[in-house]
């Protein structure tokens, strides 16, 4: 089986052996995408010489960093998320310690300039809790005096 993509990658010629290592990811539309990382081809050239070609590919993680860096990689722990990020760009939920990518990471501002990182489940839970506190405060405000240092503002 000879695909035009492989002919372009390895410089054409009559292939005798090709080895291609890569990373399979999904794009924004959910389609599978093959990112070649390294490869080698033994090709019979037009001049009847057996050539060995080793192309140098550069693939990227979902955070934008190169795959070739020596950093540790983390798979996002949100259900159904296929993203892989490096140790520099991984975030952790402060409630359950899940490793999160930038797309699945939420934050909650608890004070001006102070925020906590949360996964989607804990972010929704905290948002619901804040909303009900505000409703209760609005309903009870004619009857009860509240302190101004309430963290749910």
pLDDT digits (tens, 9 = 90+) for 73-126: 888 889 888 888 888 889 999 999 999 998 889 988 888 888 899 999 999 999
- Boundaries of domain holding 102: 60-153
Determine contact, residues 136/97, Cβ cutoff 8 Å. Answer: no
Q: Last residue of some domain: 43, 59, 75? A: 59
Q: Last residue of some domain: 16, 34, 59? A: 59
With 50 as the cut, is the pLDDT of residue 1 above it? no
Do 80 and 20 share a structural domain?
A: no
Do 53 and 73 share a structural domain?
A: no
Q: Which two tokens stand for residue 22?
A: 């890569």
Mean pLDDT of the chain: 78
Number of domains in the chain: 2
Q: How many CB atoms lie within 10 A of CB 90?
A: 21
Do 34 and 98 share a structural domain?
A: no
Do 39 and 19 share a structural domain?
A: yes
Determine contact, residues 45/77, Cβ cutoff 8 Å. Answer: no
Do 151 and 91 share a structural domain?
A: yes
Do 121 and 51 share a structural domain?
A: no
Do 69 and 36 share a structural domain?
A: no
Q: Which two tokens stand for residue 137?
A: 């405060």
């Amino acid at each position: 089986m000879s695909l035009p993509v492989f002919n372009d990658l390895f410089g054409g010629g009559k292939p005798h052996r090709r080895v291609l290592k890569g990373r399979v990811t999904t794009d924004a539309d959910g389609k599978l995408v093959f990112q070649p990382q390294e490869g080698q081809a033994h090709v019979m050239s037009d001049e009847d010489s057996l050539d060995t070609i080793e192309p140098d590919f550069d693939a990227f993680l979902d955070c934008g960093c190169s795959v070739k860096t020596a950093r540790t990689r983390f798979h996002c722990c949100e259900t159904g998320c296929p993203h892989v990020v490096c140790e520099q760009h991984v975030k952790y939920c402060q409630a359950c310690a899940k490793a999160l990518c930038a797309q699945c990471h939420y934050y909650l501002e608890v004070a001006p300039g102070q925020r906590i990182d949360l996964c989607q489940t804990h972010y929704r839970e905290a948002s619901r809790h804040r909303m009900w506190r505000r409703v209760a405060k609005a309903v009870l405000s004619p009857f009860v005096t509240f302190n101004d240092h309430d963290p749910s503002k």
